[in-house]
Amino acid sequence: MKSTILVLAALFGSLAVAVAKPTIVVFLSDDHGQLDSTPYGSKDVRTPNLQRLADAGMTFTHAFIASPACAPSRSAMLTGLMPARNGAENNHTFKRDDVASLPELMRKLGYQVAAFGKVAHGKDARRHGFDVFAEQLDAAFVEKFLLERDKSKPLCLLVGTHEPHVPWDDLEGYDPAKVTLPSNFVDTPETREHRARYYTDITKADTKLGEVMDLAKKHLDPANTLLIYTSDHGGQWPFGKWNLYDTGARVPFLAAWPGVIKPGARSDAMVQWIDLWPTLIAAAGGAAPAGIDGRSFLPVLRGESTTHRDAIFTTHSGDGEMNVYPIRAIRTPEWKLILNLHPEFAHTTHIDKSPKVTSGLAYWQSWFDKAQTDPTAAAIVKRYHERPAVELYDMRADPSESHNLAADPAQSERVKQMRAQLEGWMRDQGDAQTVFNEPRPLSDPASSKPTTEKDMPPTKKKSK
């Protein structure tokens, strides 16, 4: 009898260890496209810590955001609701007061929830229910917190870095002449220099990730820590941020969890930023509220499933007066359909309309100048500004989304079905398709010209 009791005690003791609430650490970067790191095949960018994380855990090849601008993306992540439902559609807007934030559920599960650096957008971080919040982010600050925190509670720690968001001030260790440019870039010395500076900023983000990984190993339970790296959308390039092409909507997503996630695993399960918090809540033993758009992909992390979503819906509404171009898209593993809601508008962004050097105008001017005599450059610049109402891409045969098949008669039924699915989803979301600022019509010749300081009204010059 005594031996039976001892065996049962040992069994229940081991089960208690197995179901102990994990420590959770999430590292968020800012404007980092998925392909711009070594776990996703880049030969140009040095990201040894991202590779270290990938080797220790799972690399998601089909991870997407909700909207390719900072505030809508982060609000969707923190609420589990898409932009039309949480209220943060245009950039620099925030969730409605009546919308709950999911970190609150982690607190109810007994967690201390801390956020350092850029996790939410701007001052909006204070509205999302973090126990501890600070805009400061450096290794010494994080370590001090880990040493002094209440260790009787499990920890959910979110760390957000500004890199590689503009400005890209430094050029360290990269040779502009040797970088590989995407096929839809105009090859100029200015482009190469800015690409190398972008890579420098990615390496800075990677270094900070490494510091957090080392602190987690030193001060937390390395045997039961779920550590995730991801980014809010793609980089600030002409077909990246503010676009629903994969270079804007598809992001790195790496997760390691000893004893749960198999080291070196890769998954092509389709996951989305709205799924992040439901997954964390499930990992902590809770359940996300019914009625939100996000849902847990914990079974994928555990190796119990290889699939998650059949389709990803993404939206973009704009970014102030620089980008007034509402777009909606549906993405399956094989196909993507994009609806440009107002093809009569010129697509513009900070890249070509903000005279700040940090915006990208320094290289965009070189694209515009080259386009005056180079037909290939002219076609790229024209495509940036002018979009058809419907775009359809075969994502397996054409991952760079270079060949629009929407007008192909052989694809007419596919276009009809995908468009109906997307428009039905928009109705279910209550998507009003709002145009939030004054657009720039294609009929205005100034819409396709780079803005310079002398073009700005006097009042705006003073505010710069």
Q: Is the pLDDT of residue 16 over 60?
A: no
CATH classification for the domain delimited by 315-463, as one of 3.30.1120.10, 3.40.50.2000, 3.30.70.2190, 3.40.50.300: 3.30.1120.10
Phi and psi angles of residue 142, each rounded to the nearest 5 degrees, phi first = -65, -40
What is residue 113's three-state secondary structure? strand
Cα separation of 205 and 92, whole Å? 23
Mean pLDDT value across residues 440-449 = 89
In terms of Cα–Cα distance, which of 325, 87, 36, 387 is closest to 202? Answer: 36
Would you say residue 197 has pLDDT above 70? yes
Average pLDDT (178-193) is 96
**80 contacts 294 by C-beta, under 8 angstroms:** yes
pLDDT at 245 over 70: yes
How would you class 90 by CB atoms within 10 Å of its CB: exposed for 0-12, middle for 13-18, buried for 19 or more? buried
Q: Is the pLDDT of residue 440 over 80?
A: yes
| Least confident segment among 337-341, 352-356, 358-362 | 358-362
Per-residue model confidence (pLDDT) at position 64 = 98
Q: Is the pLDDT of residue 150 over 70?
A: yes
**Which CATH class, in words, describes the domain spanning 21-309?**
alpha beta
Whether pLDDT at 385 is above 80: yes
Asked whether the beta carbons of 364 and 238 are under 8 A apart, the reply is: yes
DSSP string, 260-278: TSPTTEEEEEEEEGGGHHH
- Token look-up 């996790």 returns 119
Residue 436 has pLDDT above 60, yes or no: yes
Instruction: Kindly state the helix (H) or strand (E) to which residue 228 belongs, with its residue range.
Output: strand 225-231
Q: Tell me the pLDDT tens digit for each residue of 202-222.
A: 999 999 999 999 999 999 999
**Which range (15-29, 75-89, 328-342) has the least confidence?**
15-29
Q: How much is the pLDDT for 19?
A: 60
Instruction: Give the residue extent of every domain in the chain.
Output: 21-309, 315-463
* pLDDT score for 8: 40
The packing angle between helices 70-79 and 276-283, to 10°, is 30
Q: Which of 260, 258, 292, 262 is nearest to 275 (CA)?
A: 292
The residue with greater pLDDT, 86 or 354, is 86
Average pLDDT over residues 332-358: 93
Predicted local confidence at residue 7, as pLDDT:
41
Q: How far apart, in Å, are the Cα atoms of 25 and each of 50, 105, 205?
A: 14, 16, 16
Q: What is the pTM of this model?
A: 0.93
Task: Report pLDDT for 448.
Answer: 82
The percentage of the chain sitting over the pLDDT mark of 70, rounded to a whole number, equals 92
Over residues 188-210, the mean pLDDT reads 97
pLDDT of residue 453: 55
Sheet holding 312-316, edge to edge: 312-316, 327-331, 335-340, 390-394
Residue 457 has pLDDT above 80, yes or no: no
Mean pLDDT score, 131-136: 88
Model confidence at 454, pLDDT cuts 50, 70, 90, reads low
Residue 145 pLDDT level (bands cut at 50, 70, 90): very high
Whole-number average pLDDT of the chain: 92
* Mean pLDDT, range 230-254, rounded to an integer: 98
Reported as a single tens digit per residue, the pLDDT across 264-321 is 999 999 999 999 999 999 999 999 999 999 999 999 999 999 999 999 999 999 999 9
Determine contact, residues 127/94, Cβ cutoff 8 Å: yes
